[in-house]
Amino acid sequence: MQSVKAIVLMDEIYLDNHATTRTDPRVVDGILPWMLDEFANSGSTTHAPGRRVAAKLEECRANIAQLLGAEPEGVVFTSGATESVNLAIFGVALHPRQKRRKIVSVVTEHWASIDSLKKLERLGFEVIRLGVEIHGPESIGMLPIDEVELAIDGDTALVNVMLGNNEIGTLQPFSALAALCRQHGAVLHTDATQAVGKVSVNIAELGADLLSFSSHKFYGPKGIGGLVIHPDSMSIPILPQILGGGQQQNLRSGTLNSVGIVGTELALTLAVEGMVEENARISRLREMLWSELKKRIEGLQLNGPLWNPPIQGMSLENSHPNPASSSAHFVADPHPAPLPARLPGNLNVCFPKVDGQSLMLRAPQLAVSSGSACTSSEPHPSHVLLAIGKSEDEARGSLRFGIGRFNTESEILRAADVLGDAYEELSRFVA
Ligand SMILES: Cc1ncc(COP(=O)(O)O)c(C=O)c1O
């Protein structure tokens, strides 16, 4: 079989880890037996192969639940975050027992939420979309809690607020928000797609009722994710959106994606185990990219919140954890550190006087994104950048970098050189 690698330009630098991540080779190794040998349908419990797969998936479900602060029955596997977000939003709003007609959300959500909420609006729901902080260097993109206080009331069915922003990396503090939702009896759903596996995420501590994630964002396989339910919120009525064989307590029918579930469990275990060291390394690479770009480009602006200072004394070069050290029964820290203000691998910058797409064309060896992956094919400036007070021109002149596990210091230095040269060429052209 021809290696795919052979047809990839060898000098490519992948810095789009918010769009997706490379599947960790340890995850690939771990899932192969569940494709080649133990391939039975976990629903086929009349025979031994089916029962073996079913037992493995229940073990994975329990481990994933434990890593995210849930009970095993509180993990519903889906095809990814888009489906999970749809299940949370439509499942809560459209349940026949739901009498409330109001939804509170934020302008900076991902399209999975935005488009689902537009549909609810067409069905007669009132949707309130709150703005975010545009001042205060460490809180740009955060949801002001007093705005929620004004918007929420006894008719609010659902509050829908993402945990980590996919464009500017803002991490939303949740404790006051969760308390408000509880006080008003509103369900709190968080799209935690960019946060799970990147920062410490525990639904019980966050206080959200529902949480969505996608495994390919944390070095797991594509096409698998989940909706996680808080242990105290198991009785929230959720209307299933995919009907059929009644799997997963009827919440999401369809043959369980055994390969995806095994891969998710492995990827999440590895991410949680290596998180502290990996984040120190990645945030230092981000710091390096930012300062190297600033040296080369006058007037470069940071979009989004300032980050906390990087942890000192950590090696920058690739230090992947030893595969032998990974344990399937890793126990999460019960008292994780508070969330930083920004996702460690996120950098979003505005290049003065040029267009981000044109810059990308002049740096074809770089894989970066102008806006979010799902919107980068359309010409509109990013709704997130506009929401934090950027002009249309500034938004069009911005690029998002997602630094991840497999990036190295030399790639970062090369990316800064390539972009510096591309910017110089382009700005001469537009001057
Ligand atoms: C914040 C956020 N939510 C939801 C999604 C959708 O995830 P998926 O495409 O895996 O369904 C993404 C993907 O970019 C995302 O970044």
Show which of 265, 286, 302 is a domain's final residue: 265
Read off the pLDDT of residues 119-144 as tens digits, 9 standing for 90 and up.
999 999 999 999 999 998 889 999 99
How many CB atoms are located within 10 Å of the residue 383 CB?
17
Query: Is residue 173 domain-shared with residue 281, that is, in the same domain?
Result: no
**pLDDT at residue number 5:** 60
Q: Are residues 331 and 240 in the same domain?
A: no
Residues 161 and 216 in one domain: yes
CATH of the domain at 59: 3.40.640.10
- Does residue 81's CB lie within 6 angstroms of at least one atom of ligand 1? yes
Q: Is the pLDDT of residue 311 over 70?
A: no
Is residue 106 within 8 Å of residue 240, measured between CB atoms?
A: no
If you measure from the C-alpha of residue 164 to the centroid of ligand 1, how many angstroms do you get, rounded to a whole number? 11
What distance in angstroms lies between residue 114's CA and the mean position of ligand 1's atoms? Answer: 12
> Could you identify the atom of ligand 1 that is nearest to the CA of residue 217?
10
Q: Quick one: 297 and 354 in the same domain?
A: yes
Closest residue (by CA) to atom 14 of ligand 1?
19
Same domain? For 133 and 245 the reply is: yes
Instruction: Based on the fold, state whether residues 185 and 232 are members of the same structural domain.
Output: yes
Asked if 282 and 251 sit in the same domain, the reply is no
Sheet holding 225-229, edge to edge: 75-78, 225-229, 210-214, 187-191, 156-160, 102-106, 126-130
Q: What is the pLDDT of residues 237-284, one digit of tens each?
A: 999 999 999 999 999 999 999 999 999 999 999 999 999 999 999 999
Paired with 342 in beta bridges are 170
- Express each pLDDT in 202-237 by its tens digit: 999 999 999 999 999 999 999 999 999 999 999 999
Q: Is the CB of 304 under 6 A from ligand 1?
A: no
Q: Residue 341: pLDDT band by 50, 70, 90 thresholds?
A: confident
Parent domain of 255: 26-265
Q: How much distance in Å is there from the Cα of 410 to the middle of ligand 1?
A: 29
| Statement to judge: residues 291 and 223 lie in one domain | no
Is any ligand 1 atom within 6 A of the Cβ of residue 214? Answer: yes
Same domain, 222 and 250: yes
User: How many structural domains comprise the chain?
Assistant: 2
Q: Cα(299) to centroid of ligand 1, in Å?
A: 31
| Average predicted confidence (pLDDT) for the chain | 91
pLDDT of residue 245: 96
The helix or strand, by DSSP H or E, that contains position 14, with its residue range, turns out to be strand 13-14
337 and 249 in a common domain:
no
Whether ligand 1 lies within 6 angstroms of the CB of 191 is answered as yes
Residue 365 and residue 241 in one domain: no
Query: What pLDDT, on a 0 to 100 scale, did the predictor assign at position 334?
Result: 45
CB atoms within 10 A of CB 8: 10
Q: Could you say which of 265, 285, 303 is where a domain stops?
A: 265
Top pLDDT among 74 and 324 is at: 74
Q: Are 171 and 261 within one domain?
A: yes
Quick check: is 60 catalytic?
no
Cα–Cα distance, 107 to 157 (Å, whole number): 18
Among residues 246, 265, 284, the one where a domain terminates is: 265
- What the block records as the tokens of 99 is 């009498």
pLDDT at 307: 86
Q: What pLDDT was estimated at residue 86?
A: 98
Q: Is 17 in the pocket of ligand 1 (CB under 6 A)?
A: no
- Average confidence (pLDDT) over 90-104: 98
- Cα(314) to centroid of ligand 1, in Å? 30
Indicate the pTM of the whole model.
0.92
Phi and psi angles of residue 100, each rounded to the nearest 5 degrees, phi first: -80, 150
| Ligand 1 lined by 114 (C-beta under 6 Å) | no
Q: pLDDT by residue (tens digit) across 18-58?
A: 999 999 999 999 999 999 999 999 999 999 999 999 999 99
**CATH number of the domain encompassing residue 12:** 3.90.1150.10
Which is higher by pLDDT, 245 or 374? 245
Question: Which atom of ligand 1 is nearest to 82's Cα?
Answer: 11
